């Protein structure tokens, strides 16, 4: 995937260098699209803040109303309905200037050589179109006037929102749980130095002894490590707070009980990740919010006795219970992460230590303030990912491992590994070792099967799926280094004509050897990557490239010759369609020769993956820009305009959302092609921008079900080990909260950016503490005074 | 003087005008130019075609009385030469590889580099006027001081010189700082043979005559908005030395935090502070002809004694945490470390704006703190807070801070700040209004300019008394037209809002430091950090390395005006920068700045054609520089500096293939 040097879809063919050199054009284009998006979303926002925007809109439209232009646009919706006269009358309202743009307007009739009726309809049709264009332009103009994009001052999300329940300041859980309740600071519980975590399969069963290398045992060990770090830390100020004055439950918390029904759940799309946490003093257990699973008669009776005794003998301390319930180990892993985030370290030394001699090491006290805590949490979307491109610049295995560690902290669960692309082929193949030997940039910058296994295992232990992407048939120049006959237009110049970015090169769909190699590789990959889904790429296929081959252009232009070419590659793969997964075409109309050629390739590559039991994911062009058939099971990843999501869903296909308007982490770092001082093709996405990506806004409930989730994308043109962390974090955490918690809370209220900025800076410190070089989002001063760090008008 | 030196290489510039030509047309088979990717590009270099080996016993031959700074420096570079496993990912150009003679690699071994420094004592203080030139020769009996017409013909002659076993390496410099730059160049010339690990120098014999275009080549770091650890600062000095930067502009105190740990000031002498408000203003405004009164009062202030001041509280209460401070010892060690690498450290304690951080210790000297409901009435960004110019204690505290801070920095310059002074703030401060009414100063911009002038005069007196020549941001001259600046033409003006202002400043006769937000602000483009602005963009656009490289500080200036341009700085403000991302935000983009300041962005700059005319876009050597900066990025990475990649590695390894499409050649018929 490149999407780098050119905003225009490359399928438009001829390329105009002038527009490339005019960043303003590019910016205007994208901002207009964004503007439409914003206007669509603003209308649905119900918060106070946006009401103000509506008022502004109303005011402006009142000013404009007396002009005929608005009158025309206001009734535009009925024009296409029943009346045929109405457009004419509407049109007369247009100013003379606009009439000029309509060559078929009144007074120019009499050119009807054909049937009168059809001419009339034809004329009207043109008129309707012209009228629609004009009204459209006017609506856009008014929208622009109202929203004033040149001022760039819209606030999509409220600064503060009292309707949304906030987490306590020193317990900044990220992403925010679906529902939670907690005490108001009156009570806290201290973690015993011997604190431990026990696992049970149900509430009353005895604790299970876990195998030390089991997923759950490792998660528990990690949790204990994190707590130990909290005990020792001295650096990060907001994590360590002065001891609170809250009352302490007399007995320290000695154990956390982890009730996990199924510790062997499969790691897959749609897995159950919900969990509940309850931390309460026993005398409060009957209070509302106690988990259903804990409530049974026997326990209640015992507790009743205990509380009676407590009342009778006040010196006997009440005990605190901490219980996590989860159906699967995945939920339990998330619960442990949340648990560490509500544990607070308080300074063991006095708060007013002299600055001259800060303590070298401290042994902080760990406590959970604001008990009783009750949390029920589950993700809004099941597919929550980061895309990492390791082909354009190599990212070391330790860097990937570190990224997985950080992903677990914010409950992301898909590592979309864009492992192959046009620049390098770093994934070692056993069957075709030359692919890497000649296609990698450096014999050390490769991924061996052992590396892949280690990454998959590391992900598995954290509930993170490793989803590989084998981008083809475009972006494949690196395949041609070892096997030039696999590719066409290898290194063709000017690269801008033949590929989205250098070097050019695409797989040759009429070369039998292509399928020989692919068939072997797909089997090899399927053994390597256990996930039930696989990303097949399909972005930015360039027809100019294919047309450089005589064979391919003959296939494209000469329908009669096709059968012969197809016969040549026929024996290689069986493409008989599977009844359970029929191939469906989603674009009506005649198929071009180019798309026919693409379909020829796709039929085979889909068949290979489906034969290996993989559900395919492809980039949006396959559904929106090419008339090709796709398996019914295919998932479409949207990367261009955010509005394309609805277009794909309208085809009945599920989507993963990664619009470059919001979730491209590489944008804004300047053009990396040399010879221009241009800006990136897409704008830098600040964390606020990322946080404002309303994935499902404007969708019906049915449409929303087709949104499987989203991914934030780190393309690698200007990113490698040196700046990976600071480019990805903490901005990806903003996407993680959108994906886990949704853009709104359970009551439908939009979250507050002020609260988010405070919690996000805590996430950032958390990540830095773990050795991830997450960048600061604002001056440290603002971390302590977020309310003072707001934009003002 | 500098330009006269460069004019001898006019012919060289024409040959190495690489834009497009070198890509499309087969260039001169004996190109004149540096092929080992030296960054920044030397002013003049001339090379042959033989590869030699650096003997494992190689040593630097230093004069017996060499300055310890040079001895240590040489040891450092020898370490880097032999311990680094850096191999450039950028391949040698095919046309260079074809003519390169490797037949004597095993037999021609460079055993030593003789270093000759004119100033043996090393006592010449590091400063603006230091001579940083050097001459490096690896040749047979070649004296680098030989004066001859360095042109393409001579270079070809050198390339053909017989190269016997008696060849030697010589490095000559006027000062040890020039010698250190020469050692950096030499170290960059040595490459590692990836097959056997031996060290080689390609394209000998070679002659390099090098000196910087500008004497002030700086990097600004801001340690107040986010704290930067000493480790990060030391690493930045290392990286700066690799780029031949020579000024570290330390923006050490700003509004968000006050990270210098100072000692409490104990009173000495009799305390005769009168408590009279704003003596300077009174003198100036109360009586237009009362210059003598004013001076007398100033004199009294100057000689006034030091009261008790709890200055330790500035950091104790104004730093982010007790660990996020710099001690005096840390600062002096750091200044020494930088000086060992030929880098001056210039401190900036910003005032009178940007001063919230003083308020926790001395609330009485600050005003309009935490502007409510809107900080933006009072400051450019939160937190708002300015020094109170009419409170006498303000000046006592500043003097106390200067007394302790300025001696830590050995440089002759100190930055006085004075950017973004907000008059709304003072206009909302009762004591300021009160004084202005009493003295009949109009509460207009002109009136507040006078207040600011009174402040600046006293502040600069303190700086000058401490032996420092003040640098200020552009506003005191361009926005406020302060008399203090007008009367002291030696004040250096640092232009920051726009490159347009360079001309305005030099035409008024001031020395100027360039590096404005339109080109050299390394923090721009990363979104608005204010918490609630989803559409927020930075106030200034991202400068990629190509944009930074395209800036010509002398654009539109005549020769005389050009001499007022001392140089420039790459500025990295700290709103979204701390230890985690300092390196990646600064490098290698600041390297582009380094080359512009050292040898320009075009070969015109070496011929004296660079100043005084509109730069010819076609001579911008961005494409030639690409391979070198790509290599330099990996070189810095090998030295543990986390410089970020500029391109996909494929592009680095395939030079010329990742140009903007318009630069591509026409496609060949691919399948015939």
Q: Which residues contact A567 (CB under 8 A, 6 or more apart)?
A: none
What pLDDT was estimated at residue A749?
Answer: 86
Q: What DSSP character marks residue B358?
A: G
Quote the pLDDT of residue B615.
54
* CB atoms A779 and B535 under 8 Å: no
Query: Is A335 within 8 Å of A408 (Cβ atoms)?
Result: no
Q: Answer with the residue of higher pLDDT: B18 or B80.
A: B80
Give the number of other CB atoms < 10 A from CB of residue A44: 10
Test B581 with A677 for CB contact under 8 angstroms: no
SS (H, E, C) A389-410: ECCCCCCCHHHHHHHHHHHHHC
Are β-strands B413-417 and B386-387 bridged in parallel, bridged antiparallel, or unpaired? unpaired
The reply to whether residue B659 touches residue A674, judged by beta carbons under 8 angstroms, is yes
Q: Are A355 and B312 inside 8 Å of each other by CB?
A: yes
- The residue behind tokens 């290898």 is A490
Closest CA to B211 of B242, B181, B170: B181
Tokens representing B494 are 């640092």
Listed by number, the residues of chain A in 732-791 with a beta carbon closer than 8 Å to a beta carbon of chain B are 753-754, 756-757, 768, 773-782, 785-786, 788-791
| Least Cα separation, residue A715 to chain B (angstroms) | 10
Q: What's the pLDDT score for residue B380?
A: 86
Q: Is A375 helix (H, G, I), strand (E, B) or coil?
A: strand
- Phi/psi of residue B202, each to 5°? -95, 165
The single residue of A540, A621, A625, A737 carrying the catalytic annotation is A540
Partner-chain contact A716 B644, CB within 8 Å: no
What pLDDT, on the 0 to 100 scale, is given for residue B531? 65
What does the block give as tokens for A481?
Answer: 């280094």
Contact B637, A722 (CB under 8 A): yes
More confident residue, A255 or A203: A255
| Percent over 90 (pLDDT), chain B | 58
Residue among A492, A788, A790 minimizing CB distance to B667? A492
Write out the two tokens for A729: 């974090």
**Residue A191 CB partners (closer than 8 Å, separation 6+):** A227, A252, A253, A343, A365, A366, A367, A368
Residue A47 forms contact with B (CB below 8 Å): no
Please check the confidence at residue B290 and state whether its pLDDT lies above 60: no
Domain A179-351+360-377 fold is Chitobiase; domain 2 (3.30.379)
Q: Which residue in chain A has the smallest CA separation from B369? A: A788
CB contacts, 8 Å: B544 with chain A: 669-672, 677, 679
**To which residue do tokens 């604190």 refer?**
A195
Tokens of A620: 């949006």
Neighbours of B194 (CB within 10 A): 10
pTM: 0.81
* Residue A772 C-alpha, separation from nearest chain B C-alpha, in angstroms: 8
CB neighbour class for B100 (10 Å; exposed up to 12, middle 13-18, buried from 19)? middle
CA distances from B86 to A132, A560, A749, B106, B592 (A): 63, 58, 55, 21, 21
Q: What is the pLDDT of residue B12?
A: 34
CA pair distance B379, B420, nearest whole angstrom: 7
Collect all residues of chain A within an 8 Å Cβ-Cβ radius of residue B667.
492-494, 497-498, 548
Q: What angle do CA B13, B17, B18 make, to 5 degrees?
A: 145
* CB proximity B101 to A under 8 Å: no
Q: Taking a contact as any Cβ pair under 8 Å apart, which residues of chain A between 336 and 375 contact chain B?
A: 353, 355, 358
Contact residues, B window 523-562, toward A, CB-based 8 Å cutoff: 525-538, 541-547, 550
Strands B469-473 and B492-494: parallel
Q: Which two tokens stand for residue A52?
A: 């103000």
Cβ separation of A717 and B647 shorter than 8 Å? yes
Give the residue from A547, A559, A552 showing the smallest Cα distance to A590: A559
Higher-pLDDT residue of A162 and B229 is B229
Provide the pairing of β-strand A179-200 with A365-377. Answer: antiparallel
The DSSP result for A528-578, as a single string, is H---SEEEEE--S--HHHHHTSHHHHHHHH-GGGHHHHHHHHGGG---PPP
Distance CA A444, CA A789 (A): 46
| CA A597 – CA A645 distance, rounded (Å) | 26
Over residues B341-353, the mean pLDDT reads 96
Beta-strand ranges (E) seen in A47-133 are none
- Is B99's Cβ below 8 Å from some Cβ in A? no
Tell me if residue A540 is catalytic.
yes
SS3 A87: helix
Identify the CA nearest to B494 among candidates B485, B483, B502, B503. Answer: B502
- Would you call A494 and B666 a contact, using CB atoms and an 8 Å cutoff? yes
Q: What does the pLDDT read at residue A110? A: 36
**Residue B458 class from Cβ within 10 Å (0-12 exposed, 13-18 middle, 19+ buried)?**
buried
Reported ipTM exceeds the 0.85 cut: no
Q: Does B320 touch chain A (CB under 8 A)?
A: yes
Which position has the higher pLDDT, B474 or B63?
A: B474
Q: For residue A720, list chain B residues with Cβ-Cβ distance below 8 A.
A: 644-645, 649
pLDDT digits (tens, 9 = 90+) for B203-216: 888 888 899 999 99
We find that the CATH architecture of domain A385-472+514-540+615-789 is Alpha-Beta Barrel (3.20)
Tell me which range, A247-261, B258-272, B468-482, is most confidently predicted by mean pLDDT. B468-482
pLDDT digits 0-9 by tens, A189-228: 999 989 999 999 888 888 888 999 999 999 999 999 999 9
More confident residue, A131 or B338: B338
Catalytic residue among B420, B575, B637, B644: B420
What is the sign of the dihedral through the CA atoms of A218, A223, A227 and A233? positive
Helix (H) or strand (E) holding B561: helix B559-562
Check residues A692 and A350 and name the one with the higher pLDDT.
Answer: A692
Contact A791 B530 (CB under 8 A): yes
The ranges assigned to domains in chain A are: 3-124, 179-351+360-377, 385-472+514-540+615-789
CB-facing half-sphere around the CA of A611: CA atoms within 13 A:
19
Rg (CA), chain B: 27
pLDDT in tens, A101-146: 433 333 333 333 333 344 455 556 667 777 777 777 777 776 665 5
Reading the block at residue A542, the tokens are 């360039």
What share of chain A in percent tops pLDDT 70?
70
- Range A543-568 average pLDDT: 93
Tracing tokens 């911008």 back to the chain, one arrives at B620
Closest Cβ opposite residue B531 in set A492, A768, A789: A789
**Look-up: residue for tokens 């991924």?**
A447
pLDDT at A542 over 90: yes
The partner residue sitting opposite A717, judged by closest CB among B376, B579, B648, is B648
The reply to whether A476 touches chain B by the CB within 8 Å rule is: no
Q: What is the pLDDT of residue B165?
A: 65
Residue-wise DSSP of A651-717: TT--EEE--TTTSBTTTTS---SBT--PPPSS----HHHHHT--TTTT--HHHHHTEEEEEEEE--T
Residue A383 CA to residue A386 CA, distance in Å, equals 10
Residue B660 has its nearest CB partner, among A675, A687, A768, at: A675
Cα separation, A88 vs A83, whole angstroms: 10
Contact predicate B670/A548, CB 8 Å: yes
Q: Is the pLDDT of residue A148 over 90?
A: no
Residues in chain A with CB shorter than 8 Å from the CB of B654 are 503
- Mean pLDDT score, A330-358: 76
Under DSSP, is residue B330 helix (H, G, I), strand (E, B) or coil? helix
Rounded Cα distance, B368 and B381, in Å: 13
Distance CA B515, CA B501 (A): 11
**Choice among A5-9, A182-186, B284-288, B367-371 with the minimum mean pLDDT:** A5-9
Which residue from B minimizes the CA distance to A445? B649
Task: Look at residue A243 in the predicted model and tell me its pLDDT.
Answer: 63
Q: Across the interface, do B529 and A716 touch by the CB < 8 Å criterion?
A: no
pLDDT average, residue stretch B526-549: 79
Asked if the model's pLDDT at residue A181 lies above 50, the reply is yes
Report whether the peptide linkage leading into residue B660 is cis, meaning its omega lies within 30 degrees of zero: no
Distance CA B104, CA B82 (A): 21
Cβ–Cβ contact A311 with B under 8 A: no
Q: Give the ranges where B429-496 is alpha helix by DSSP (H).
A: 430-438, 445-465, 475-478, 483-487
Q: Find the range with the poorest average confidence among A99-108, B36-45, B578-587.
A: A99-108
Which helix (H) or strand (E) element contains residue A637?
strand A635-638
**Same fold for the domain at A179-351+360-377 and the one at A385-472+514-540+615-789?**
no
Mean pLDDT of B489-509: 95
What's the Rg (C-alpha) of chain A? 30
DSSP B383: S
Q: What is the pLDDT of residue A294?
A: 39
The answer on pLDDT for A375 being more than 80 is yes
Number of H helices, E strands in chain B: 25, 16
| Cα angle, residue B581 at apex, residues B576 and B584 outer, rounded to 5° | 120
Q: Which of A621, A569, A559 is nearest to A593 (CA)?
A: A559
Give the DSSP letter of residue B260.
B
Nearest to B531 among A154, A678, A754 (CB): A754
* CA angle (A748 as vertex; A787, A342 as ends), nearest 5: 55
pLDDT at A425 over 50: yes
For residue A189, give the 3-state DSSP assignment: strand
| Residue A306 reports pLDDT greater than 70 | no
């Amino acid at each position: 995937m490149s999407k780098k040097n050119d905003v225009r879809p490359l399928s438009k063919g001829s390329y105009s260098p002038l527009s490339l050199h005019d960043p303003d054009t590019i910016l205007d284009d994208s901002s207009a699209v964004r503007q439409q998006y914003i206007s669509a979303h603003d209308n649905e926002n119900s918060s106070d803040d946006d009401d103000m925007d509506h008022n502004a809109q109303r005011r402006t439209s009142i000013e404009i109303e007396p002009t005929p232009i608005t009158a025309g646009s206001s009734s535009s919706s009925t024009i296409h309905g029943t009346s045929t006269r109405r457009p004419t009358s509407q049109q007369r309202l247009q100013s003379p200037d606009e009439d000029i743009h309509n060559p078929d307007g009144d007074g120019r009739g009499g050119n009807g050589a054909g049937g009168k009726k059809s001419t009339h309809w034809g004329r009207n049709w043109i008129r309707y179109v012209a009228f629609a264009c004009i009204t459209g332009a006017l609506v856009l103009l008014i929208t622009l006037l109202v929203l004033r994009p040149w001022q760039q001052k819209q606030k999509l999300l409220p600064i503060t929102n009292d309707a949304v329940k906030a987490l306590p300041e020193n317990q900044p859980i990220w992403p925010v749980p679906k529902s939670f309740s907690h005490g108001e600071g009156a009570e806290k519980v201290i973690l015993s130095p011997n604190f431990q975590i026990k696992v049970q399969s149900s509430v009353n069963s005895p604790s299970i002894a876990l195998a030390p290398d089991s997923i759950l045992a490792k998660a528990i060990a990690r949790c204990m490590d994190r707590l130990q770090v909290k005990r020792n830390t001295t650096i990060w100020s907001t994590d360590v707070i002065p001891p609170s004055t809250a009352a302490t439950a007399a007995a320290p918390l000695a154990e956390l009980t982890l009730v996990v029904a199924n510790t062997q759940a499969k790691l897959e799309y749609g897995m159950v990740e919900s969990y509940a946490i309850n931390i309460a003093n026993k005398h409060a257990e009957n209070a509302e919010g106690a988990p259903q699973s804990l409530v049974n008669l026997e326990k209640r009776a015992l507790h009743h006795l205990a509380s009676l005794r407590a009342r009778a003998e006040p010196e006997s301390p009440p005990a605190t219970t901490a219980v996590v319930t989860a159906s699967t180990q995945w939920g339990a892993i998330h619960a442990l992460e949340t648990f560490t985030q509500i544990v607070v370290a308080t300074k063991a030394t006095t708060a007013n230590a002299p600055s001259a001699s800060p303590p070298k090491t401290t042994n902080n006290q760990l406590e959970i303030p604001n008990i009783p805590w009750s949390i029920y949490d589950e993700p809004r979307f099941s597919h929550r990912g980061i895309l990492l491109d390791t082909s354009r610049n190599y990212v070391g295995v330790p860097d990937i491992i570190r990224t997985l560690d950080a992903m677990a902290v914010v409950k992301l669960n898909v590592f979309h590994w864009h492992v192959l692309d046009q620049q390098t082929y770093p994934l070692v193949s056993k069957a075709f070792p030359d692919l890497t030997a000649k296609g990698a940039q450096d014999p050390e910058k490769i991924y061996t099967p052992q590396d892949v296994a280690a990454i998959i295992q590391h992900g598995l232990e954290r509930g993170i799926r490793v989803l590989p992407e084998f981008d083809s048939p475009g972006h494949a120049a690196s395949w041609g280094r070892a096997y030039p006959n696999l590719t066409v237009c290898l290194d063709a110049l000017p690269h801008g004509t033949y590929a989205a970015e250098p070097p050019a090169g695409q797989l040759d769909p009429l070369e039998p050897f292509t399928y020989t190699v692919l068939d072997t590789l797909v089997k090899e990959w399927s053994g390597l990557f256990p996930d039930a889904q696989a990303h097949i790429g399909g972005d930015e296929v360039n027809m100019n490239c294919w047309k450089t081959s005589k064979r391919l252009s003959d296939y494209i232009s000469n329908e009669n010759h096709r059968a012969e070419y197809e016969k040549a590659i026929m024996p290689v793969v069986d493409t008989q369609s599977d009844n359970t997964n029929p191939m469906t075409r989603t674009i009506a109309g005649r198929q071009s020769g180019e798309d026919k050629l693409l379909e020829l390739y796709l039929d085979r590559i889909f068949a290979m993956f489906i034969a290996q039991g993989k559900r395919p994911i492809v980039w949006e062009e396959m559904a929106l820009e090419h008339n090709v058939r796709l398996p019914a099971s295919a998932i479409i990843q949207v990367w261009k305009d955010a509005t394309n999501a609805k277009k794909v869903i309208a085809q009945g296909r599920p989507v993963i959302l990664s619009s470059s308007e919001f979730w491209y982490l590489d944008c804004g770092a300047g053009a990396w092609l040399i010879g221009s001082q241009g800006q990136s093709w897409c704008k830098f996405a600040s964390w606020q921008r990322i946080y404002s990506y309303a994935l499902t806004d404007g969708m019906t409930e049915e449409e929303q079900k087709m949104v499987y989730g989203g991914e934030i994308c780190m393309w690698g043109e200007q990113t490698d080990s040196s700046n990976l962390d600071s480019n990805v974090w903490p901005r990806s955490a903003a996407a993680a909260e959108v994906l886990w918690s949704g853009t709104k809370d359970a009551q439908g209220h939009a979250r507050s950016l002020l609260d988010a900025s405070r919690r996000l800076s805590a996430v950032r410190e958390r990540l830095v503490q773990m050795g991830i070089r997450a960048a600061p989002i604002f001056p440290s001063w603002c971390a302590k005074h977020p309310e003072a760090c707001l934009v003002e008008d | 003087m500098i330009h006269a030196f460069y004019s001898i290489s006019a012919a060289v510039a024409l040959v190495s005008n690489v834009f497009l030509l070198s890509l499309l047309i087969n260039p001169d088979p004996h190109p004149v130019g540096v092929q080992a990717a030296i960054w920044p590009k030397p002013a003049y270099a001339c090379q042959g075609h033989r590869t030699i080996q650096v003997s494992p016993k190689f040593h630097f031959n230093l004069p017996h009385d060499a300055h310890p700074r040079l001895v240590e420096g040489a040891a450092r570079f020898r370490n880097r030469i032999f311990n680094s496993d850096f191999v450039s990912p950028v391949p040698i150009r095919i046309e260079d590889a074809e003519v390169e003679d490797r037949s004597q690699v095993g037999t021609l071994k460079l055993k030593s580099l003789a270093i000759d420094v004119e100033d043996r004592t090393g006592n010449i203080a590091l400063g603006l006027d230091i001579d940083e030139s050097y001459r490096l020769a690896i040749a047979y009996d070649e004296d680098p001081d030989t004066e001859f017409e360095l042109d393409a013909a001579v270079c070809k002659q050198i390339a053909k010189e017989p190269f016997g076993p008696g060849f030697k390496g010589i490095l000559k410099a006027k000062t040890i700082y020039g010698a250190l730059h020469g050692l950096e160049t030499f170290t960059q010339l040595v490459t590692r043979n990836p097959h056997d690990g031996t060290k080689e120098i390609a394209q000998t014999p070679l002659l390099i005559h090098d000196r910087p275009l500008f004497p002030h080549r700086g990097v600004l770091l801001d340690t107040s908005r986010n704290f930067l650890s000493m480790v990060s600062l030391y690493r930045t000095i290392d990286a700066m030395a690799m780029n031949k930067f020579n000024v570290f502009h330390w923006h050490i105190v700003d509004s968000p935090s006050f990270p210098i740990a100072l000692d409490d000031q104990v009173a000495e002498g009799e305390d005769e502070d009168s408590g009279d408000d704003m003596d300077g203003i009174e003198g100036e405004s109360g009586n237009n002809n009362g210059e003598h009164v004013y001076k007398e009062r100033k004199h009294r202030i100057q000689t006034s004694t030091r009261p008790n001041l709890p200055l330790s509280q500035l950091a104790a209460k104004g730093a982010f945490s007790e660990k996020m401070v710099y001690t005096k010892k840390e600062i002096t060690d750091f200044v020494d470390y930088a000086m060992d690498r030929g880098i001056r450290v210039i401190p900036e304690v910003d005032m009178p704006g940007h001063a919230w951080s003083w308020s926790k210790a001395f609330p009485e000297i600050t005003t309009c703190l935490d502007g409510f409901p809107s900080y933006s009435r009072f400051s450019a960004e939160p937190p708002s807070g300015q020094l109170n110019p009419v409170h006498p204690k303000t000046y006592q505290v500043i003097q106390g801070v200067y007394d302790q801070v300025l001696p830590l920095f050995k440089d002759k310059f100190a930055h006085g700040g004075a950017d973004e002074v907000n008059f709304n703030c003072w206009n909302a401060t009762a004591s300021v209004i009160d004084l202005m009414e009493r003295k009949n100063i109009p509460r207009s911009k002109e009136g507040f300019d006078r207040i600011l002038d009174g402040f600046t005069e006293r502040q600069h007196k303190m700086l000058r008394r401490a032996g420092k020549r003040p640098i200020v941001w552009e506003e005191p001259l361009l926005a406020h037209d302060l008399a203090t600046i007008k009367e002291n033409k030696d004040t250096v003006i640092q232009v920051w809002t726009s490159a347009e202002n360079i001309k305005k400043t030099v035409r008024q006769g001031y020395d100027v430091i360039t590096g404005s937000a339109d080109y050299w602000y390394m923090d721009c483009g990363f979104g608005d950090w204010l918490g609630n602005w989803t559409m927020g963009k930075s106030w200034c656009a991202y400068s990629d390395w190509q944009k930074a490289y395209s800036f010509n500080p002398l654009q539109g200036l005549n020769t005389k005006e050009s001499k007022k341009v001392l140089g420039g700085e790459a500025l990295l403000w700290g709103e979204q920068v701390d230890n985690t991302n300092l390196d990646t935000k600064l490098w290698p983009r600041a390297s582009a700045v380094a080359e512009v300041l050292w040898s320009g962005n075009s070969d015109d700059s070496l011929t004296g054609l660079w100043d005084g005319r509109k730069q010819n876009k076609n001579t911008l050597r961005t494409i030639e520089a690409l391979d070198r900066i790509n290599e330099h990025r990996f070189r810095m990475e090998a030295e543990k500096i986390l410089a970020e990649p500029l391109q996909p590695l494929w592009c680095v390894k395939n030079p010329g293939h990742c140009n903007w499409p318009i630069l591509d050649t026409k496609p060949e018929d691919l399948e015939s």
